[in-house]
């Protein structure tokens, strides 16, 4: 690949497609270090969807993510001179842990750049896996800014960049996930009908697609992106990779503004077998909580993308489906936000700007005549101002059922109290609720 004057990586006019044989060789090379992860049948999701659902547990890797596969294989292919010069990587967190692990295992000095939104849990794990072989640099507001800093550093020092998704060796290493899935299903006498793959930069999707195109050409592949960072769909719509104006960084492992060039070419060449969908961040949160509460799986947001996408597709009854749980590096401090987003997505959490007439008994009227028996106040911020006829309050309500909303709105409309329902993704909602 080459870099143009704006710093954007551009793909070569031709590229060498990844074949199943490349992935099989990679599997043989990394198998002494990276053990296969379990493929687990999921009774709950199977019953809910009417298909046989298996979860590929990449969250059980030593670094809790599939990213170790591509990182380790790419670094293992470096010659002695490249190893001596050191390596540089940019990552939202998971690729960085794979690189750090490889650096310490192979005795190679590395420098890793991560954006400021990378959860502290991931930063801490990078240091644990890399030890004194890795320097961690926190810079930029998103992955793309961290990646630009990493490339500049590598160019200045003559180090080698280990790409998280947009490099052939990385794609080959990540494709070993598909090789394991087919082998594990064969062992239990099953064949793969559909696989759900989380998509950020699309390196995993490219690797899985490349292997299945050769070894299981009838298998359908579903790439699942977060709605707030749907860079693959944007590229397919434009006919080439494009840079998104902005991304929602919540699904940090997949919050990529521009899809990888090489992964894009792989997807483009296999559009007949690939379906690309996007899912809301709130739906991802709901599935994260379901995985934790029912299967005991601690999935990070990107790790739950595949299961979230499962709910969006009509699949043939009884078909064999695999969802790749791509990572489990989730900071426990994020669970309050995860629960909040899930409640909003499910229609259970709502916010209102309530203007109370400055008269006695108005709060009692709101509590007894407007709220329903199962409505719970979770937030109440009230400021009574002198010489005003009304006093505004920001009120957060958690409903017992989503269907309770319409009757609540009817009671609000009939009341003298003016209540404004704040809608997610509007400026006033973000200002009042998120600050």
Positions annotated as catalytic residues are 67, 326
Buried b (16+ CB within 10 A) or exposed e, 202-225: bbbbbbbbbbbbebbeebbbbbbb
Q: Which residue has the tokens 């990449």?
A: 58
Neighbours of 118 (CB within 10 A): 26
- List the strands of the sheet with 87-90, edge to edge: 134-138, 110-114, 87-90, 160-161
Q: Is 101 exposed, middle or buried (0-12, 13-18, 19+ CB in 10 A)?
A: buried
Please tell me the distance from the alpha carbon of residue 18 to that of residue 169, in angstroms, as a whole number.
9
* Strand 376-382 with 320-325, pairing: unpaired
């Amino acid at each position: 690949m080459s870099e143009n004057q704006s710093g954007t990586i551009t793909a070569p006019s031709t590229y060498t497609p990844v074949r199943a044989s490349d992935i099989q060789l990679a599997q043989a090379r990394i198998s002494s270090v990276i053990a296969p992860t379990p493929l687990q049948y999921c009774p709950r999701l199977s019953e809910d969807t009417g298909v046989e659902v298996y979860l590929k547990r990449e969250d059980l890797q030593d670094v809790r993510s599939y990213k170790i596969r591509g990182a380790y294989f790419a670094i293992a292919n470096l010659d002695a001179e490249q190893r001596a010069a050191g390596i540089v990587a940019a990552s939202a967190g998971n690729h960085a842990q794979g690189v750090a692990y490889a650096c310490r295992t192979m005795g190679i000095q590395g420098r890793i750049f991560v954006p400021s939104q990378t959860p502290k849990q991931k930063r801490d794990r990078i240091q644990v896996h890399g030890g004194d072989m890795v320097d961690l640099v926190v810079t930029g507001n998103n992955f793309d800014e961290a990646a630009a800093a990493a490339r500049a550093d590598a160019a200045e020092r003559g180090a080698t960049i280990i790409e998280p998704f947009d490099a052939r060796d990385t794609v080959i290493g990540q494709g070993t996930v598909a090789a394991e899935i087919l082998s594990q299903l064969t062992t239990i006498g099953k064949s793969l009908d559909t696989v759900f793959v989380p998509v950020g930069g699309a390196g995993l999707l490219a690797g899985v697609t490349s292997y299945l195109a050769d070894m299981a050409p009838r298998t359908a592949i579903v790439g699942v992106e977060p709605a707030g960072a749907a860079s693959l769909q944007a590229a397919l719509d434009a006919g080439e990779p494009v840079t998104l104006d902005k991304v929602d960084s919540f699904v940090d492992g997949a919050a990529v503004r521009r899809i990888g060039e090489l992964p894009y070419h792989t997807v483009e060449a296999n559009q007949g077998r690939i379906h690309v969908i996007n899912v809301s961040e709130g739906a991802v949160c709901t599935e994260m909580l379901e995985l934790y509460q029912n299967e005991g799986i601690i999935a990070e947001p990107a790790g739950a993308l595949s299961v979230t996408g499962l709910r969006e597709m009509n699949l043939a009854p009884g078909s064999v489906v695999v969802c790749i749980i791509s990572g489990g590096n989730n900071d426990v401090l994020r669970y309050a936000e995860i629960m909040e987003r899930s409640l909003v997505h499910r229609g259970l959490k709502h916010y209102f700007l309530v203007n109370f007439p400055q008269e006695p008994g108005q709060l009692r009227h709101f509590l007894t005549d407007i709220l329903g028996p199962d409505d719970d106040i979770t937030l109440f911020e009230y400021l009574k101002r002198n010489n005003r006829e009304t006093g505004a309050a920001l009120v957060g309500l958690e409903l017992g059922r989503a269907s309770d909303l319409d009757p609540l709105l009817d009671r609000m409309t009939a009341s003298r109290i003016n209540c404004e329902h704040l809608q997610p993704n509007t400026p006033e909602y973000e200002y009042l609720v998120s600050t």
